[in-house]
Amino acid sequence: MRRYLTPLLFLSPATLLILLFFFTPVVATILLSFTDLSTTTFKNPSWVGLRNYQDLLADPFLKKIFFNTVKYVALTLTFNVGMGLLLALLTSLVPQRIGDPARALWLLPRILPPVVYVFIWQGILAEAPMGLVSDILGVSKNWLVAAPWTVVILANGFVGASFGMLIFTSAIRAISRELFYAAAVDGATTWQTIRRVVLPMLAWPILFVTAYQTLSLLTSFEYILLLTDGGPGFYTTEVWSLRAYHLALSNYFGNVEFGLGAAMAAVLVVIGVVVSLFYLKIFNFKALVSEPKIEIN
Amino acid sequence: MRIGRYILAAVLLMGLALAQKTITIKAWTIGPDDPSITRLKNLEAAVDRLNALLEIEKADYRVKLEGDFDTTDWDPYLRRVLLAFQSGEAPDIVQASAAPLIGVWATAGYIAPITAETHKYGTFRDVFPTLWKAVTFKGDVYGVPQDTEARPLYFNKTLLKKLGWSEAKIAELPKLIERGEFTWDDMLAVAKEALDKGVIERGKGYYHRPKNGPDFHMWYRAFGGTSYDEATGKLVFDQEAALRYFTWLKKAVDAGVLEKDRLDGSWNRFHENVTSGKVLFFSGGTWNWAEWKTQWVKDKGGEDWLWENFGFAPQPAYKKGGKPITLSNPQAYMVSANSKHKELAVKVLAFAMMPDLDARHAVGSGHLPVLRATASLTGDRFIREVSYLLNYTTFAPQHPDFPKWQDALYRGVSAVESGQVSPEEAVRVVAAEMKRALKDQVVIK
């Protein structure tokens, strides 16, 4: 027992936080999802078992929302990881005095408050004479309404890309110089160096960024909420988490369904866990954390 | 000796001052349109008048109002109110749409019945009786009517002239609509002609609100639909009427009269295009008139510009000889169930039910008065000329689940208009969603 005491002591703060901020909400959400809690039943909710889940299955809009979510996560993720990688490589290839300010610039969308950031997007995309895009292209359109998916993905992507960029840059910096010298001595081109030296060393950060971003995209909806609120039109950009939010907390006429919203959120938790396991499997997590076969110092 | 008397007097006065209590009444109100600030200002005036009376009566308390006026939107406002109700921290007075919120909140037990209190004050007796019906749920009064409105179909007279209509023909239009001789299809035909002749830009033949709201229910009813069965107390969805409505929307989009992305969520864009004189027909509310007057055409001549350019009528019938309609969504002040000063709150509301305050709100915000005495008091031309629309008015049913019905219908509208599904498919989807959300509370016809 004694030998576990110190590790347990060190683990306890993190464990406590996870219990408090992850485990408890999950349990609460799952419990809520078995009730009919809504505006009208708030004072006397009743236990309805799986009815909310049956309701979800009967929802004629659910299929559309599910595929919207897949589309949103897949496209934004591709942009985030791809752009992050590209930015990291480009800013690492150029001298540091140019690379560093370029990276700092890409951090701007992330440090702006979302409301301000979205406000700028809306301004840029408005109809002429206010909108920049309409002015430049000479076609006066509300571009946010004309191409909602492109905007949603780019607006999210510009924020998300900087995350990958930072992680990948630090990973590239951590690659031992000797490997680059060795590649140069062997006559490798820049592309070959990237392909054969840099990218293999980035496998773990790429797994981390992909997994992390998938999960955060699955649950994030604030930029969509502010940009399109799931519209324009018929659930055009409504994703799973936004729908859960709309059901549980937002209704023009003031009648919200907490129980049903919680059921949607609970499904999202399950999807999140499944996706994480899938990532760990395809990226061969065990091999990544095993003892290195060679030691480079 | 003298000093002693002064001290005694001072002590007595201080004692009086200390004995006098100040009771704080909290009130939350919303426009969200700016001119409706009188929903709060009238409460402030009521409290001032009440305090003046308390002064004369030498009562041992005075009232202080802690008020709030929201100009964001209904969704965040109602969320705030809901969370306040649930945490037991709701203000004493909450203002919101009477139907269906009184049904929803009374069912939930958030607002208090005030039937007995409303009989106490004479000022309440002058309220239009139909409005009392709007604030009554299961036999109990749950609110005090604050204002009402109508939702007209506006038309741009200047554009009609450009299309070749004579002054007389334009002046005749509201009457044609009233008699059911100018239908939705006629409107579509006129708008199409305007588009073909280059009088209007594509998509600007007809505008409706850019986001969810009570009007979609009104249009569904204009196309012959019913939403509530008094006998069974259940909601109704009439698939034929919905199909007529959805088909019209599709025809309008296909003809280039209605924007495919009309539901873009932007009120600013709606007002901008309407008040720059680009839109031929547009459905709005009477309060829009006040917004346009004070915010959008202020520099172009204000209300005179509106009279010169815009006309209004009820929403047309869908077939010749049919009945046109409009919808009123009366606002009400409600007293929350957790208020410690319910009686006093109603007293404040009684002082707010004064014809001068009612008139100030009606004229300033483009809403219609709730007191019979007010109509004669205001010389406002708009209020005078638009009030006849109330002859055609309808209300939302006071059913606690009606919000879900409205949401489902709105999804159908957005699906058809954006061209994502056919009108027939949209009717099926709406019916399925209503069945899911409302179970046995809805009858699909």
Res. A296: pLDDT tops 70: no
Res. B14: pLDDT tops 70: no
B100 reaches A (C-beta below 8 A): yes
Res. B132: pLDDT tops 80: yes
Q: What is the structure's pLDDT at B368?
A: 87
Do the Cβ atoms of B221 and B392 come closer than 8 Å? no
Do the Cβ atoms of A150 and A224 come closer than 8 Å? no
Q: Which of B368, B147, B417, B47 is nearest to B257 (CA)?
A: B417
* Average pLDDT score over residue span B53-70: 94
User: Helix, strand or coil for residue B3?
Assistant: helix
**Phi, psi at B39, each rounded to 5°:** -60, -30
* Average pLDDT score over residue span B24-42: 94
Encode pLDDT of B148-190 as tens digits. 889 999 999 999 999 999 999 999 999 999 999 999 999 999 9
Q: Under an 8 A CB cutoff, do A61 and B433 touch?
A: yes
Res. B100: pLDDT tops 90: no
Q: What is the structure's pLDDT at A282?
A: 79
Overall residue count recorded for chain A in this entry: 297
Asked which of A86-95, A205-214, A247-256 is least confident by mean pLDDT, the reply is A247-256
Nearest CB to B261 within list A233, A250, A255: A233
Choice between A291 and B194, residue whose per-residue pLDDT is larger: B194
Q: Which of A118, A141, A120, A146 is nearest to A227 (CA)?
A: A118
Strand extents, DSSP E, B193-340: 206-207, 228-229, 234-237, 281-283, 310-313, 326-327, 331-335
Record the tokens describing residue A97, joined without a space.
């005095």
CB atoms within 10 A of CB B302: 14
Crossing angle of the two packed helices B402-417 and B215-222, in degrees rounded to 10: 70
User: Helix, strand or coil for residue B98?
Assistant: coil
How many contacts does A have with B, using Cβ atoms within 8 A? 111
Nearest CB to B75 within list A58, A60, A252: A252
Choice between B314 and B13, residue whose per-residue pLDDT is larger: B314
Tell the CATH topology of B153-327+401-444: D-Maltodextrin-Binding Protein; domain 2 (3.40.190)
Res. B376: pLDDT tops 80: no
Res. A293: pLDDT tops 70: no
Do the Cβ atoms of A68 and A238 come closer than 8 Å? yes
A250 reaches B (C-beta below 8 A): yes
Using 50, 70 and 90 to split pLDDT, how confident is the model at A144? confident
Q: Under an 8 A CB cutoff, do A251 and B414 touch?
A: no
Rounded (10°) CA dihedral B178, B180, B184, B186 = -110
Res. A236: pLDDT tops 70: yes
Strands B93-97 and B331-335 come out as antiparallel
- Maximum pairwise Cα distance, chain B: 98
Enter the ipTM: 0.76
Q: Which residues partner with B68 through β-bridges?
A: B28
> What mean pLDDT, rounded, does chain B reach?
91
Q: Which of B114, B28, B27, B41 is nearest to B79 (CA)?
A: B28
How near does any CA of chain B get to the CA of A229, in Å?
A: 8
Res. B19: pLDDT tops 80: no
Give Cβ neighbours of residue A166 (< 8 Å, ≥ 6 apart): A88, A103, A107
Res. B3: pLDDT tops 80: no
Q: Rounded CA gap, B240 and A263, in Å? A: 34
Superfamily of domain B2-148+330-394: Periplasmic binding protein-like II (3.40.190.10)
Record the tokens describing residue A247, joined without a space.
């059901």
Do the Cβ atoms of B314 and B389 come closer than 8 Å? yes
Res. B16: pLDDT tops 60: no
Res. B10: pLDDT tops 90: no
* Average pLDDT score over residue span B72-91: 90
How near does any CA of chain B get to the CA of A194, in Å?
A: 45
Q: How far is CA A295 from CA A183, A292, B334, in A?
A: 18, 7, 74
Contacts of B82 in chain A (CB under 8 A): 39, 254, 256
Do the Cβ atoms of A145 and A232 come closer than 8 Å? yes
Res. B112: pLDDT tops 90: yes
Give A 195-224 residues with CB within 8 A of chain B: none
How near does any CA of chain B get to the CA of A231, in Å?
A: 7
Q: Which of A12, A232, A172, A40 is nearest to B415 (CA)?
A: A232
Q: Rounded CA gap, B363 and B381, in Å? A: 9
Q: Rounded CA gap, B246 and A190, in Å? A: 60
Do the Cβ atoms of B42 and B357 come closer than 8 Å? yes
Nearest CB to B403 within list A60, A234, A253: A253
Q: Which of A290, A264, A156 is nearest to A213 (CA)?
A: A156
Q: What is the structure's pLDDT at B292?
A: 95
Domain boundaries, chain B: 2-148+330-394, 153-327+401-444
Encode pLDDT of B311-325 as tens digits. 999 999 999 999 999
Q: Which domains does chain A have, with CATH numbers?
A: 27-58+251-286 (no CATH), 68-234 (1.10.3720.10)
Q: What is the structure's pLDDT at B425?
A: 93
Q: What is the structure's pLDDT at A228?
A: 87
Half-sphere exposure of A272 (CA within 13 A, CB side): 18
Q: Rounded CA gap, A285 and A283, in Å? A: 6
CA B50 distance to own-chain centroid:
28
Contacts of A144 in chain B (CB under 8 A): 264
Res. A297: pLDDT tops 60: no
> What mean pLDDT, rounded, does chain A reach?
88
Res. B108: pLDDT tops 70: yes
* Average pLDDT score over residue span B35-40: 94
Asked which of B9-18, B46-55, B271-280 is least confident by mean pLDDT, the reply is B9-18
Crossing angle of the two packed helices A258-282 and A51-58, in degrees rounded to 10: 80
Q: Under an 8 A CB cutoff, do A251 and B403 touch?
A: yes
Q: How far is CA A65 from CA A218, A239, B372, in A?
A: 12, 5, 50
Q: Which of A253, A255, A254, A222 is nearest to A239 (CA)?
A: A222
Percentage above 90 pLDDT, chain B: 65
Q: Rounded CA gap, B187 and A122, in Å? A: 33
- Maximum pairwise Cα distance, chain A: 76
**Phi, psi at B270, each rounded to 5°:** -60, -55
Res. A86: pLDDT tops 90: yes
Q: Under an 8 A CB cutoff, do B261 and A254 touch?
A: no
CB atoms within 10 A of CB B130: 14
Res. A283: pLDDT tops 80: no
Do the Cβ atoms of A37 and A263 come closer than 8 Å? no
* Average pLDDT score over residue span A23-49: 89
Q: What is the structure's pLDDT at B74?
A: 87
Q: What is the structure's pLDDT at A130?
A: 76
* Average pLDDT score over residue span B60-87: 92
User: Helix, strand or coil for residue B396?
Assistant: coil
Using 50, 70 and 90 to split pLDDT, how confident is the model at B95? very high
Encode pLDDT of A155-210 as tens digits. 999 999 999 999 999 999 888 888 889 998 999 898 998 888 888 888 888 888 99
* Average pLDDT score over residue span B1-8: 66
Give Cβ neighbours of residue B111 (< 8 Å, ≥ 6 apart): B94, B102, B105, B142, B143, B334, B335, B336, B337
